Amino acid sequence: MANSKRLKGTLGEHMAAFQRGAVEVIEERELEKRLVRALAEDEPMRIKFGMDPSSPDLHLGHAIPLFKLRDLQRLGHQVVLIVGDATAMVGDPSGRSMLRPVLTREQVAANLETYTAQAALVLDLERTEIVRNAGWFDRMGFEGILQLTTRMTVAQMVERDTFQKRLSAGEPVGINEFLYPLMQGWDSVEVRADVELGGTDQLFNLLVGRRLQEQESQRPQVMVTTPLVNGLDGRKMSKSYGNSVGLTDSAREMTFGLMRLDDEAMAVWFLQLTRLGEPEIAELLKGHPRTAKARLALEVAGFFHGEKAAAEAAEAFNREVRDKELPADIPEIRWDSSLGSTRALANLLKDMGLVQSTSEARRAIEQGGVRWNGEVHTDPRSEMSEPKERVLVQVGKKRVMHLLPAEA
């Protein structure tokens, strides 16, 4: 007879899944007690994670909690993914140094189109409970929102370090921002969360969830916080900085991007974004940073695109960068669509800043010093089309740049 149990694995395996890479587990003893009971009764725990569609794209920083959710999902727990179409309009004040603009429903709806599809790159959506919190907040109405605001005082709200820092610096704090922790906390009540995952910047919001659950006579959720990771260059991860790796990036983009990662960040990225064992990670980090980084890129690109595509991307990096001793942090520029879909190579090189003039560009081309993704171009009359993906453009040995397609 087939095993019909919903939960798989031992208590140790479940605890390890929660603990891997976690900054804090609050309360860990309570979590262990609940897991013992869940395994005995074969009753999956409800693991809540909220994602606000405040932008259209997810990057590897967003994937950290998704990987943990995937681990817990494979052990049989119920992942509850809250797509915050209501909270996104308020805007999360966590870690913000200034008042953020309020999004419209239309902006949120546009971002929603890509969010669940990108989450599906990590999670099994057929086994994921997906809910939008506008459902209960729209039903709550003005009177209900007023009642929600009575759950906390202003004094309790301004205990939050984010608000304290802004008030001390004379920066404005919007009254709407006080609503955000209450709304995120109320989500926990609505879905009856057993555990909530969040970044370290979410600790205050997670605590509000526990408070509201206790007020509603629910068992307060256990909280698991995961680290926030900076971008490839050590600054905050942002598409505008060009230091992020998107979940929808190609295997090549992921590989070339990850090879730019600061050496000091590798330990955290290995632990959070791969499922290699910690002893193996430690051995990799003892070796040459480039070798470790190549393995990290292979693991991450392989997860999203498969081993074959990841291996091909690694070969491309070795061919174009490592073996030619090119820098890993090659600058990038996007195709200027205002100039059309094709461009004379000599003019394009000048536009990219790789040469001072078109005459210099023509000389370099005629002398065989210009390469387009490794291919030498010797005809100064060459017309180049907008690339479909990142290409490496070289003038001589030292002047290199990546050319990307125009913004969609």
Q: Which of these, 183, 186, 158, lies nearest to 173 by C-alpha position?
A: 158
pLDDT of residue 1: 43
Q: Is the pLDDT of residue 95 over 60?
A: no
DSSP-derived secondary structure letter, 61: H
DSSP string, 141-203: HHHHHHHHHTTS-HHHHTTSHHHHHHHHTT----HHHHHHHHHHHHHHHHHT-SEEEEEGGGH
211, 290: one domain: no
Q: Is the pLDDT of residue 99 over 80?
A: no
- Tokens found for residue 337: 């669509």
Whether 231 is covered by a domain: the verdict is no
Across the strands, what pairs with 226? 199
Instruction: Indicate which CATH number applies to the domain containing 244.
Output: 1.10.240.10
101, 212: one domain: yes
Q: Is the pLDDT of residue 97 over 60?
A: no
DSSP-derived secondary structure letter, 218: P
Whether 243 is covered by a domain: the verdict is yes
pLDDT of residue 300: 97
Average pLDDT on 254-267 reads 92
Q: Which residue has the higher pLDDT, 227 or 237?
A: 227
Mean pLDDT taken over the chain: 89
Q: Is the pLDDT of residue 329 over 80?
A: no
Count CA atoms closer than 13 A to 101's CA, side-chain side.
Answer: 7
Average pLDDT on 391-399 reads 86
Residue after which a domain boundary falls, among 322, 354, 383: 322
37, 103: one domain: yes
Measured distance CA(130)–CA(180) in Å, rounded = 20
Whether 1 is covered by a domain: the verdict is no
Please state, in angstroms and as integers, the Cα–Cα distance from residue 29 to each residue in 35, 55, 322, following that order.
10, 37, 49
Whether 47 is covered by a domain: the verdict is yes
Whether 234 is covered by a domain: the verdict is no
pLDDT of residue 375: 83
Please state, in angstroms and as integers, the Cα–Cα distance from residue 346 to each residue in 5, 231, 243, 299, 383, following that order.
66, 34, 29, 39, 9
Instruction: Indicate which CATH number applies to the domain containing 365.
Output: 3.10.290.10
Per-residue pLDDT tens over the stretch 147-204? 999 999 999 988 888 888 888 888 888 888 889 899 999 999 999 999 999 999 899 9
Measured distance CA(184)–CA(225) in Å, rounded = 15
270, 389: one domain: no
Measured distance CA(284)–CA(106) in Å, rounded = 47
16, 158: one domain: yes
**Cβ proximity of 99 and 177 under 8 Å:** yes
Question: Residue 212 in 3-state DSSP?
Answer: helix
Residue after which a domain boundary falls, among 226, 260, 288: 226
Measured distance CA(378)–CA(371) in Å, rounded = 9
57, 169: one domain: yes
Q: How many domains does the chain have?
A: 3
Whether 32 is covered by a domain: the verdict is yes
**Cβ proximity of 68 and 14 under 8 Å:** no
128, 193: one domain: yes
The model carries a pTM of: 0.77
Residues of the domain holding 129: 11-226
Q: Kindly report whether the peptide bond that precedes residue 27 is cis, defined as omega within 30 degrees of 0.
A: yes
| Edge-to-edge strands, sheet with 399-404 | 332-334, 399-404, 391-395, 370-372, 375-376
25, 151: one domain: yes
Q: Is the pLDDT of residue 310 over 90?
A: yes
Whether 209 is covered by a domain: the verdict is yes
Per-residue pLDDT tens over the stretch 278-302? 999 999 999 999 999 999 999 999 9
168, 199: one domain: yes
Q: At 117, which amino acid appears? A: A
Average pLDDT on 269-277 reads 96
Residue after which a domain boundary falls, among 176, 200, 226: 226
Please state, in angstroms and as integers, the Cα–Cα distance from residue 210 to each residue in 207, 223, 333, following that order.
5, 9, 47
Whether 80 is covered by a domain: the verdict is yes
57, 160: one domain: yes
Which residue intervals of 8-104 are DSSP H helices? 11-19, 28-41, 60-74, 87-90
DSSP string, 82-149: EE-TTHHHH---TT-SSPPPPPPHHHHHHHHHHHHHHHTTTS-GGGEEEEETHHHHHHHHHHHHHHHH
Query: pLDDT class for 33, splitting at 50, 70, 90?
Result: very high
Provide CB contacts within 8 A for 103, sequence distance 6+: 54, 88, 89, 91
**Cβ proximity of 108 and 53 under 8 Å:** yes
- At 182, phi and psi to the nearest 5? -65, -40
